[in-house]
């Protein structure tokens, strides 16, 4: 199922707890797609990156070729640098704010931005900005973007951000519009701007110009987020694969994550149960296999419509391109 999603979708997210195999599966799926002729970018958004460890090479915040692919396909990888991304985001927001605030408040703006760096949500907002950028650009340069994400809670919250932020921006825009109309009506009553209504070329007042600029910034932001949301919620373009171990708590968490993503409008295209114990390698593992089967029963019952894929536990860790290729063949 994971390979089918990697072959058919344009954007694929993998999420789940730490250590379940997200990076391994994201890489293997991306590799298979590149060998099948797709231009693929695998992006790690988890600050605790392990894409580089897995490929046994240094990968930074710029696309690095990981595999030459075949038939015109190629696989590139990128690890988002959390600090640089947050810095860039704060610089952009700070620049807009400074332009819009009276000059003597520039110091205040800088102090505010410095405090924001440590406030909850800032990193998610910055990451979301970066993901938006990658989706906008990446869709031209790549046929498939695979996002290897950070453990669950964080990611589901981030997927809901475009909707929240669009609503927030819309609210602000509405309020601005209302106060603009009120202001215009008041000025109309005062009779001081009557000439403008008649279309004279009187100079615009700086406050009004600043209002226009704020509006333009908010509108641009809303359009970009709405664009991202349109991608995230189009099941033909984008899908989310939840990776888990066949254990009690991960199963419960998967059901909750599925619920959260579905509520946000994101398609959950696969449940990938990784490191499944073999039934035929001695009593201990056979018992483990049976216990896992019970947990998978709970999962199937709760989410009967979502394709479920089991991936066997291997004898060794998956490290390096050759091991990844072998691993991809298991999918």
Ligand X SMILES: Nc1ncnc2c1ncn2[C@@H]1O[C@H](COP(=O)(O)OP(=O)(O)O)[C@@H](O)[C@H]1O
Stretch that binds ligand X, among 13-21, 32-40, 85-93, 229-237 (CB under 6 A): 13-21
Write out the binding residues for ligand X, residues 187-246 only, by CB under 6 A. none
C-alpha angle 24-272-237 in degrees, rounded to nearest 5: 90
Stretch that binds ligand X, among 4-12, 17-25, 65-73, 118-126 (CB under 6 A): 17-25
Q: Which of 6, 10, 11, 22 binds ligand X (CB under 6 A)?
A: 22
Binding mask 269-288 for ligand X (x = CB under 6 A): -----xx-------------
Stretch that binds ligand X, among 16-24, 92-100, 193-201, 245-253 (CB under 6 A): 16-24
Contact of 85 with 133, CB cutoff 8 Å? no
**How many residues would you count in the chain?**
331
Residues that bind Mg ion (CB under 5 A): 22-23, 50
Q: If DSSP codes are grouped into helix, strand and coil, which group holds residue 41? A: strand
Q: What is the largest CA-CA distance in the chain?
A: 91
Residue nearer to Mg ion on the CB measure, 50 or 88: 50
Contact of 79 with 51, CB cutoff 8 Å? yes
Residue 20: CB atoms within 10 Å: 23
DSSP 62: S
Residue nearer to ligand X on the CB measure, 144 or 318: 318
| Element of type H or E holding 14 | strand 11-15
Token pair 């696989």 is found at 75
In the complex, least distance from residue 245 CB atom to Mg ion, rounded to whole angstroms: 14
45 part of the interface to ligand X, by CB under 6 A: no
20 part of the interface to ligand X, by CB under 6 A: yes
Q: Which of 113, 261, 311, 328 binds ligand X (CB under 6 A)?
A: 311
The upper half-sphere exposure of residue 235, i.e. CA atoms within 13 Å in the direction of its Cβ, equals 9
In the complex, which residues of this chain contact ligand X (CB under 6 A)?
A: 18-24, 50, 274-275, 311, 313-314, 317-318
């Amino acid at each position: 199922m994971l390979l089918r999603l990697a072959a058919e979708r344009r954007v694929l997210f993998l999420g789940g707890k730490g250590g379940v195999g997200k990076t391994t599966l994201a890489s293997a799926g991306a590799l298979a797609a590149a060998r099948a002729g797709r231009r693929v970018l695998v992006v790690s958004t988890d600050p605790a990156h392990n894409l580089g460890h897995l490929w046994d090479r240094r990968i930074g915040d710029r696309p690095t070729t990981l595999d030459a692919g075949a038939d015109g396909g190629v696989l590139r990888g990128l690890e988002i640098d959390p600090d640089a991304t947050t810095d860039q985001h704060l610089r952009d927001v700070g620049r807009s704010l400074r332009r819009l605030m009276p000059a003597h408040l520039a110091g205040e703006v800088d102090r505010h931005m410095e405090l924001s760096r440590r406030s909850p949500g800032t990193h998610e907002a910055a990451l979301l900005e970066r993901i938006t950028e990658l989706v906008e650009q990446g869709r031209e340069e790549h046929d498939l973007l695979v996002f290897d994400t950070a453990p669950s809670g964080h990611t589901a919250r981030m997927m809901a951000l475009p909707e929240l932020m669009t609503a927030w921006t819309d609210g602000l825009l509405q309020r601005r519009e209302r106060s603009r109309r009120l202001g215009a009506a008041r000025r109309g009553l005062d009779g001081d701007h009557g000439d403008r209504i008649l279309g004279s070329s009187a100079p615009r007042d700086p406050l009004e110009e600043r209002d226009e600029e704020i509006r333009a910034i908010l509108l641009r932001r809303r359009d970009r987020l709405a664009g991202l949301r349109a991608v995230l919620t189009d099941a033909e373009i984008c899908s989310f694969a939840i990776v888990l171990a066949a254990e009690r708590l991960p199963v419960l968490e998967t059901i909750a994550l599925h619920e959260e993503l579905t509520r946000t409008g994101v398609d959950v295209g696969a449940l990938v149960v990784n490191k499944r114990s073999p039934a035929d390698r001695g009593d201990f593992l056979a018992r483990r296999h049976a216990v896992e089967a019970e947990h998978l029963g709970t999962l199937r019952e709760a989410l009967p419509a979502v394709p479920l894929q089991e991936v066997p536990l291997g004898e060794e860790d998956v490290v390096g391109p050759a091991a990844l290729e072998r691993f991809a063949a298991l999918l």
